[in-house]
Amino acid sequence: GTGLGLAIAYGIVKMHRGAIDVRSKVGEGTTFWVKLPASQSARHSEETVA
């Protein structure tokens, strides 16, 4: 590929105040983690239930 997919994904994740973490080992492969904050409504729901 051209590498545009990762650039687009990064832009979307940053727009949502998230982060992408990458770990790579030669001969084993690469792992990507996408971290996104919970929405305000999800946080409110958890507080209400607790």
> Smallest Cα–Cα separation from 24: which of 1, 6, 2, 4?
6
Q: Tell me the pLDDT tens digit for each residue of 4-30.
A: 999 999 999 999 999 999 999 999 999
Q: What is the enclosing helix (H) or strand (E) of 25? A: strand 19-25
Q: What is the pLDDT of residue 3?
A: 76
pLDDT of residue 43: 61
Instruction: For tokens 């919970």, name the residue.
Output: 38
Q: pLDDT digit string (tens) for 28-50?
A: 999 999 999 987 776 666 566 55
